[in-house]
Amino acid sequence: MTPGYFLYHSIGQYPEKATEMSAALAEYAEVWAADDDSQWPRVLERRAEFIALWEALINAPKGSLTTADNVTSALYSLIGSLPEDRLRGKRVLVTADCFPSLHFLLAGLAERFGFTLDTVPLRQGETWVRDEDILDSWGPDVGLALLTFVTSTASWRCDLAGLTAHGQAMGSLVVHDLTQGIGIIPYSLTDFTPDAAVSTSLKWLCGASGAGVLQVRPDLIPELRPELRGWFSQPDPFAWDLDGFTYAPDVRRFDHGTPSVIAALASVPALRWHATQDKAAMLAHNRALQTQIVVGADALGLPLAGPEQEARRGGSVMLRLPEGTDTSAMINEFRGRGVHTDCRGLTLRLSPGIITAEEHVEYLLSSLEEILIIH
């Protein structure tokens, strides 16, 4: 039997990924090593395709989305572009179940930008922050709020529409972190109206690391002055008058120095593949395997570490392992059996995707029963 892959919360896979990514990187190497002057036009054309695929994916207006090294750098670039009065003397609202890297960033920026970082806590014994607790903490003194589309440790889907609308009523800037949900849970900027969105091409999109994105509301862009800026931030990168710098009129003002293109190029095949898929069928496949996992876990006496309601769940199922479980030994045992997953603390994270099949779930569950007895 082929290996059972349950790591779409980390690095997603799709059929022919290795072949297509290898071809894309080989094309890059051939272009970059050619003894001519075609490198940048051809490479930037692929970067533009990456951007166009992302724009189509989330229905972003043209000129509102650009590349970033990762989600953390995208959020930093956004914060560094804001007028001083946007955050100084105000609160920045995050939740205790946000991706830790973003919390690390915000905690480090609070003093310099003059804001107070307010982290909405988890309730005792719970694994995701409740929407009502976010709302209770969210007043007109919140300058910016970071909302996580799907959490990485509970697979919880917040009420993104309701929370975003509340933020707008409070006059706050609202940023969506799409990382854990995009590519499996439907998302469109025609349904949501955040001020900005950040994400990666990893996970359900099956792309490469380093292929992050930043999307900014078009009518907000003219107010923003990224402090991380460079020659590609201009309307014409070749305008080299040292005293004549001007920002590009669109999201290109966030492009700063010479763009890093390899990750975007390596991700184009995955984004092309994803664009051709039946998204409803992909989600239905995921949901069917989730149900199989939930039923099997219940039979083993393992509670969910995430929401019971399917509609409030992302693409992953999180299981709570018994106290004292040696999770490192468990993951190694799974790996030896050809089952690939991971743990965060005592939470076993299971994310079935397009290459995961029913027989993989059956084998996962039977292996899990045996491993629990051993460990």
For 163-201, the pLDDT digits (tens) are 999 999 999 999 999 999 999 999 999 999 999 999 999
222 burial via Cβ count (<10 Å: 0-12, 13-18, 19+) = exposed
Is 68 in a helix, a strand, or coil? strand
**Cα(130)–Cα(128) distance, rounded to whole angstroms?**
6
pTM above 0.95, yes or no: yes
Q: Categorize the per-residue pLDDT at 375 as very low, low, confident or very high, splitting at 50, 70 and 90.
A: low
DSSP letters spanning 208-249 = -TT-EEEEE-TTTGGG---SS--GGGSSSTT---TT-----S
Q: Categorize the per-residue pLDDT at 120 as very low, low, confident or very high, splitting at 50, 70 and 90.
A: very high
- The residues pairing with 145 across neighbouring beta strands, listed in sequence order, are 93, 174
Q: Torsions phi, psi of 320, nearest 5?
A: -90, 115
* pLDDT, mean over the chain: 97
**Cα(268)–Cα(312) distance, rounded to whole angstroms?**
30
For 44-70, the pLDDT digits (tens) are 999 999 999 999 999 999 999 999 999
DSSP category for residue 321: P
Q: Categorize the per-residue pLDDT at 373 as very low, low, confident or very high, splitting at 50, 70 and 90.
A: confident
CATH code of the domain made up of 37-275: 3.40.640.10
Q: Where does the chain hold its CATH 3.90.1150.10 domain(s)?
A: 4-16+278-374
Residue type, 103: H
Which two structure tokens, joined as six digits, stand for 54?
């992302």
**Cα(306)–Cα(181) distance, rounded to whole angstroms?**
14
Which two structure tokens, joined as six digits, stand for 108?
């480090």
Residue 335: count other Cβ atoms within 10 Å of its Cβ. 13
Q: Where does the chain hold its CATH 3.40.640.10 domain(s)?
A: 37-275
Q: What's the pLDDT at 2?
A: 77
Query: Side-chain half-sphere of 64: how many Cα atoms within 13 Å?
Result: 20
Q: Which residues contact 25 (CB under 8 A, 6 or more apart)?
A: 262, 265, 266
Query: Nearest-CA neighbor of 368 among 276, 294, 297?
Result: 297
Q: What's the pLDDT at 3?
A: 83
Residue 59: count other Cβ atoms within 10 Å of its Cβ. 12
**Cα(94)–Cα(117) distance, rounded to whole angstroms?**
8
**Cα(93)–Cα(345) distance, rounded to whole angstroms?**
25
Q: How far is CA 332 from CA 21, 93, 149, 342, in A?
A: 28, 38, 30, 10
**Cα(121)–Cα(241) distance, rounded to whole angstroms?**
50
For 349-365, the pLDDT digits (tens) are 999 999 999 999 999 99
**Cα(291)–Cα(147) distance, rounded to whole angstroms?**
27
pLDDT at 1 over 90: no
Q: Categorize the per-residue pLDDT at 300 as very low, low, confident or very high, splitting at 50, 70 and 90.
A: very high
Q: Torsions phi, psi of 206, nearest 5?
A: 70, 20
For 13-33, the pLDDT digits (tens) are 999 999 999 999 999 999 999
Q: Which CATH superfamily is domain 4-16+278-374 in?
A: Aspartate Aminotransferase, domain 1 (3.90.1150.10)
**Cα(341)–Cα(32) distance, rounded to whole angstroms?**
37
